[in-house]
Amino acid sequence: MKKNQSSAAIMWRQLMTMITVLTLALTVVILIAVSHQILKQTQSESDHIIASLKSAVIDGDDDWENWRKTSTLDTSTSYVYVRNSRADAKVKHYYSPNADDLLSIDPIEIPINKHLYYRPHFGLLFRRTGHSRGIYYTLWLSMDSSVKILLRVVEATVMLLVITLFLAPFYIRRLTQRLTDPLTTLSTSTKKLASGSGADLLPVPKTPTEVGELATDFNHLLTELHERQEQQKTFILNAAHELRTPIATIRSHSQLIERRGKDHPEVIPKSVAYITQESRQMEQLVEELLALTRADRLTVDLHAVDLTKLMQELTSKLQNTIPQSLAVTIADDVQVNADESALEQIIDNLVGNASKYSPEDAPIAVTLTTDTTQAVITVADSGSGISAEDKPHVFERFYRSAEVRGTVTGTGLGLAIAAQLAERFKGQFEIADNEPKGTIIRLAIPLLS
């Protein structure tokens, strides 16, 4: 049967195992500590008795009787055997009560301690020996009371283990529920969200903190994905709208040629011109859509770029593609960390955009300056300018103000592409009004460290 591998089940098994092992280990430690203390006390007691025997010098019956009378030895649990090896000794052996019975059978030595022995009917015994002046003393102390204490300790620890194992599952289950219930709720909410039947965002629990942070991060991701999805929908709708106009114009003039071309051949050149113009507009739109898509997915190769040299070469080329003259002012030895092809496309879009909205006899100023931390590319035109209402939207895809829509050809993608590319190397745009009229667009790029 396959084990439940949920977080709660894993935590439950791990904690139960840990508690069981710790309780058993504590039991063993307690037993060892109590046993050690008992042995230590027994050894101290036996040393005291052996010392009293040595000081008594039991060399005869009178000495033995005097020692027994003055000794506080409990003969029910202690056994003494004295062997006098002196040549002049009248009595060679002395036994305390039951000592001769104890020694009638040799006690069995217990390997864990050289002083511990076992004797049937007498139980566990502690043996201690000593000698003085040819007299040998052997003491046997019963360990029955100590064994009872150990058994009581064992009983207490077993009861503690049983109680712990009985209560631990309830506590652990409650603990695991507190820790895993927020995850379960998060998982359930995620499934509902995926099926479309739940809320747009996940619930954020207050505890535990890690799950709350995870839910918050998920919500940020969901918000970003939702925004991107909405942007894609808007993008598709705008693209379809922008393509619909030239397609409708092309179809209209094609139908006009079909209906009236034979009878009125003079309409053909005019209609063909319209079709050509609209097809070029469609071609430009498709190219810019592809450029925008590439900008979204582009992985730029950031490296040191000589911006001074790049702008000198690029402005020289652009001068031949626009009717306006370029007033170029470029600072020397400007180095930035960027991508050359992205910079070329951005500058091309800025200059092309300025040319589109400026009179043919109005020069366009292109400058490159620096401050302590950044290089600033500025393109200033003398066109009609951008209203305060339109400025926040000029970098949006397909955005074109009502004043120019239908009068100036364009797709509304040029500045959106430029902004998308500039983000890749931390470039920032700024728009201002030119005096007496026109627009100034600045692009700030961090200088090469």
Same-domain status, 281 and 314:
no
Same-domain status, 292 and 412:
no
Same-domain status, 18 and 115:
yes
Same-domain status, 330 and 422:
yes
Compute the 3-state secondary structure of the chain and give helix, strand, coil in percent, each to the nearest 5: 55, 15, 30
CATH number of domain containing 249: 1.10.287.130
Most confident of 30-44, 213-227, 365-379: 365-379
Same-domain status, 289 and 246:
yes
| Residues of the chain above pLDDT 70, percent | 87
Same-domain status, 109 and 17:
yes
CA neighbor of 152 nearest in space, from 251, 249, 58, 38: 38
Residue 341, C-beta contacts closer than 8 angstroms, at least 6 positions apart? none
Same-domain status, 24 and 141:
yes
Average pLDDT over residues 300-313: 87
Whole-model pTM? 0.47
Q: Please indicate, yes or no, if residue 2 is contained in any of the structural domains.
A: no
Same-domain status, 283 and 331:
no
Average pLDDT, the chain: 81
CATH number of domain containing 336: 3.30.565.10
- Summarised one tens digit per residue, pLDDT across range 352-399 is 888 888 888 889 999 999 988 999 999 999 888 888 888 887 887 766
Look at residue 377 in the predicted model and tell me its pLDDT: 93
Q: Which of 270, 297, 324 is the last residue of a domain?
A: 297
Same-domain status, 385 and 369:
yes
Same-domain status, 305 and 365:
yes
Q: What range does the domain containing 248 cover?
A: 200-297
CA neighbor of 46 nearest in space, from 109, 130, 114: 130
Distances in Å between the Cα of 260 and the Cα atoms of 190, 255, 267, 269, 273 are 62, 9, 8, 12, 16
Residue 301 tokens read as: 């190769």
* Structural domain count, the chain: 3
What's the farthest any 2 CA atoms get from each other in the chain?
165
Look at residue 403 in the predicted model and tell me its pLDDT: 62
| Residues of the chain above pLDDT 90, percent | 11
- Region for 412 from its dihedrals, namely left if φ exceeds 0, alpha if ψ lies in -120 to 50, beta otherwise: left
